[in-house]
Chains A and B, each alone.
Chain A
Amino acid sequence: MQIFTCPFCGPREETEFHFAAEAGKHRPEPAEEVSDADWADYLYLNDAPKGAAREVWVHATCGEFFVMTRDTVTREITDVTALPGRDG
Chain B
Amino acid sequence: MSGWRLPSDGGIDRDRPLGFTFDGQPLSGFEGDTLASALLASGPRILGRSFKYHRPRGLWGMGGEEPNAILDVTGPEGVTPNVRATQMRLRDGMALASVNAAPDAARDRFGIMDLAHRFLPAGFYYKTFMAMGWMRWEPMIRRMAGLGRVDPGHHPAADAVPMNARCDLLVIGAGPAGLAAARAAAGQGRAVWLVDEAGAVGGSLRWRGGQIDGGDWRAFASETVTAVEAAGGRVMTDTTLWGAFDHGLFAAWQRREGQPDRHWRIRAANVVLAAGAIERPLWFANNDLPGVMSAEAALHYLRLYGAVAGRNIVLATGNDASYPVAAALAEAGARVTLADARADGPAAPEGVELLRGARLTKAKGRREVGGAVVDGGHVDADTVLVSGGYTPSVHLWCQAGGKLDWNAGADALVPRPGTCGMAVAGAANGGFGLQRALEEGHRAGTGTGPAPRAATTGDWGLVPMRPDPTLKGRQWLDPQNDVTLKDVKLAAQEGYRSVEHLKRYTTLGMATDQGRSANFAGLAAMSAITGLSIPETGTTTYRPPFTPVPLKTIAGLRRGELFNPVKRLALEPLHRNQGARFREYGGWLRPSVYGDGEESTLAQAEAKAARETVGLYDASPLGKIEVIGPGAAELLDFCGYIRMSTLKTGRARYGFMLSETGIVHDDGVMFRLAEDRFIVSASSSHVASVRMILEEARQDRFDPRRSFIHDVTANWVTITLTGPRAGDLAHAAGLPDQMLALPHMGVAEGLWNGHPVRVARVSFTGDLSYEISVPARHGTALHARLEAARAAHKGRWIGLESVMILRAEKGFILVGKDTDGLTMPHDLGWGGPREKRKDEYFGRRSLFTPEACRHDRRQLVGLVTDGPDPLPVGAHLVARDGPRRSLGFVTSSYVSPTLKRPIALALLEAGGSRMGEALTAFQLGATRSVQVTPACAFDPEGGRLNG
Contact = CB atoms under 8 A, between A and B. Distances in A.
Interface of A: 1-3, 14, 18, 20, 29-32, 34, 36, 39-40, 43, 56, 58, 60, 63-65, 74-75, 83, 85-88
Contacts of B702: 85-86
Interface stretch (B188-196, B667-675, B844-852): B844-852
19 contacts: A1-B247, A14-B246, A20-B696, A31-B844, A31-B845, A36-B849, A39-B845, A39-B849, A58-B696, A63-B692, A63-B695, A65-B695, A75-B246, A85-B699, A85-B700, A85-B702, A85-B703, A86-B701, A87-B703
Contacts of B247: 1-3, 75
Nearest to B849: A36
Contacts of A74: 401
B845 A65 contact: no
Contacts of A43: 660-661, 846
B692 A1 contact: no
A76 B846 CA distance: 36
Contacts of B696: 20, 58, 65
A43 B845 CA distance: 11
B263 to A, nearest CB: 13
A84 B259 CA distance: 52
Given A65-B699, A88-B703, 12 more contacts: A1-B249, A2-B247, A3-B247, A14-B246, A31-B840, A31-B844, A63-B692, A65-B696, A75-B247, A83-B699, A83-B700, A85-B704
B846 A39 contact: yes
B810 interface: no
A86 B703 contact: yes
A39 B660 CA distance: 10
B125 interface: no
A26 to B, nearest CB: 10
Interface in B689-707: 691-692, 695-696, 699-705
B517 to A, nearest CB: 31
10 shortest interchain CB distances as A-B pairs: A31-B845, A63-B695, A85-B704, A1-B249, A2-B246, A65-B699, A2-B247, A87-B703, A83-B699, A3-B247
Nearest to B631: A86
Nearest to B698: A85
Nearest to B267: A3
Contacts of A34: 845
A53 to B, nearest CB: 15
A26 B703 CA distance: 17
A51 B676 CA distance: 45
- The listed residue with most A CB atoms (<10 A of its CB), out of B702, B704, B848, is B704
B293 interface: no
Interface in B738-782: none
B714 to A, nearest CB: 14
A10 B845 CA distance: 37
B265 interface: yes
Interface in B400-421: 401
A40 B846 CA distance: 9
Contacts of A20: 696
Nearest to B711: A63
Contacts of A56: 700
Contacts of A86: 701-703
B265 A1 contact: yes
A10 to B, nearest CB: 15
Contact of B691 (A31, A63, A87): A63
A30 B840 contact: yes
A75 B709 CA distance: 32
A58 B695 contact: yes
Contacts of A64: 699
A2 B709 CA distance: 28
Nearest to A65: B699
A14 B661 CA distance: 27
Nearest to B845: A31
- The listed residue with most A CB atoms (<10 A of its CB), out of B265, B700, B701, is B700
Nearest to A1: B249
B245 A1 contact: yes
A69 B292 CA distance: 55
B842 to A, nearest CB: 9
A33 to B, nearest CB: 10
A65 B704 CA distance: 11
Contacts of A30: 840
- The listed residue with most B CB atoms (<10 A of its CB), out of A1, A3, A64, A74, is A1
A36 B265 CA distance: 49
Interface in B823-878: 840, 844-846, 848-850
Contacts of B692: 18, 58, 60, 63
A32 B848 contact: yes
A14 B247 CA distance: 10
Nearest to B709: A63
Nearest to A77: B247
Contacts of B704: 83, 85
A18 B249 CA distance: 20
Contacts of B709: 63
B171 to A, nearest CB: 21
Nearest to B401: A74
Nearest to A64: B699
Contacts of A3: 247
B174 to A, nearest CB: 25
Contact of B246 (A1, A36, A85): A1
B453 to A, nearest CB: 39
B836 to A, nearest CB: 14
Contacts of A58: 692, 695-696
Interface string B701-728: 1111100010000000000000000000
Contacts of A18: 692
A56 B834 CA distance: 30
Interface string B246-280: 11010000000000000001000000000000000
A61 B542 CA distance: 34
Contacts of B401: 74
Contacts of A88: 703
B370 to A, nearest CB: 52
Contacts of B848: 32
B500 to A, nearest CB: 19
Contacts of B844: 31-32
A9 B703 CA distance: 21
Given A1-B246, A58-B692, A65 B840 contact: no
- The listed residue with most B CB atoms (<10 A of its CB), out of A2, A14, A85, is A85
Contacts of B699: 64-65, 83, 85
A30 B246 CA distance: 42
Contacts of B245: 1
A3 B249 CA distance: 9
Nearest to B661: A43
A65 B702 CA distance: 13
A1 to B, nearest CB: 5
Nearest to A76: B247
A73 to B, nearest CB: 9
B242 to A, nearest CB: 14
A65 B701 CA distance: 12
A57 to B, nearest CB: 11
A86 B700 CA distance: 7
A37 B849 CA distance: 9
Contacts of A75: 246-247
A18 B844 CA distance: 25
A34 B661 CA distance: 14
Nearest to B245: A1
A63 B697 CA distance: 11
A43 B843 CA distance: 10
A32 B840 CA distance: 9
A82 B215 CA distance: 60
- The listed residue with most A CB atoms (<10 A of its CB), out of B265, B699, B700, B701, is B699
A58 B709 CA distance: 15
Nearest to A33: B845
Contacts of A63: 691-692, 695, 709
A1 B590 CA distance: 34
Contacts of B849: 36, 39-40
